[in-house]
Amino acid sequence: MGDLKRVALVTGGSRGIGLGIARCLARDGFDLAINGMREASSVEASLVELRALGADVVYIQADVAEATDRTRLLAAVRERFGRLDLLVNNAGVAPHVRADILAAPEESFDRVLRINLKGPYFLTQAAARWMIEERQADPERPLAIVNITSVSVTLASTSRGEYCVSKAGLAMSTRLWAVRLAEFAIPVYEVRPGIVATDMTTPVKDAYERRIAEGLVPQMRWGLPEDVGRAVAMLAAGNLSYSTGAVIVVDGGLTLPRL
């Protein structure tokens, strides 16, 4: 039975939104390859939690922005599980310092774009080649790729322009891969979170607490990592198999046009 379990690779899957996604997939019967930049010892508690949910879990330390690391990452997944059914491109970073776009340094732009856009773009390329092999071997097997973007795809934040540009690029990447992989029955989706309680939003917690209380988010609460995780699990289950390229917005109504 274990040999039949589906396998998901979740980048940035040991904390925040990535961990919320991994939890939901583990509950749905996936085995998990978790990727991150931290030392294995610092993510052990997350791995123990996921194993307690029934998943076989491996942690692979790798930088998705580096070509050699991407190759090593997929090789490790192949060695451990021999298959890949779902890729979740979740790993991402914010600028080290929020800075007005009139003054933000080029180095910050390069760093954020390499990790948030270049990394998942080329990880998808490599994973898709593997998935095409899998599809040819088994025409009925459910396969999928999910990109985690942000409401910053459409909402401009001039104090973190590089982040907005990276997520907008990832949204277009979703469309590109959805078109290219459609002939192989490999759907590609975008999940677009709003204001989610994670390490990334901790520095602006007080400001967002106030704005949410004032009505910024119609559902009047922070998003939780599991809110995003449930959306990914729904896509992984094949419930939108005829909707490649679809965007699932998980923002509590934040981006709804209102008068």
* Interatomic CA distance for residues 128 and 247, integer angstroms: 19
- Backbone dihedral region for residue 245 (phi beyond 0: left; psi -120 to 50: alpha; all else: beta): left
* Interatomic CA distance for residues 10 and 252, integer angstroms: 24
* Interatomic CA distance for residues 164 and 229, integer angstroms: 22
The residue among 98, 100, 99 whose CA lies nearest residue 201 is 98
Is 163 an annotated catalytic residue?
Answer: yes
Output the six-digit token pair for 30. 């996936």
Active-site entry in 59, 163, 208, 242? 163
Q: Using a CB cutoff of 8 Å and minimum separation of 24, what contacts does 64-69 make?
A: 64/11, 64/35, 64/89, 64/91, 64/115, 64/119, 64/120, 64/123, 65/114, 65/115, 65/118, 65/119, 67/122
* Interatomic CA distance for residues 76 and 143, integer angstroms: 19
Q: 10 Å Cβ neighbour count for 55?
A: 24
Residues with a known catalytic role: 163
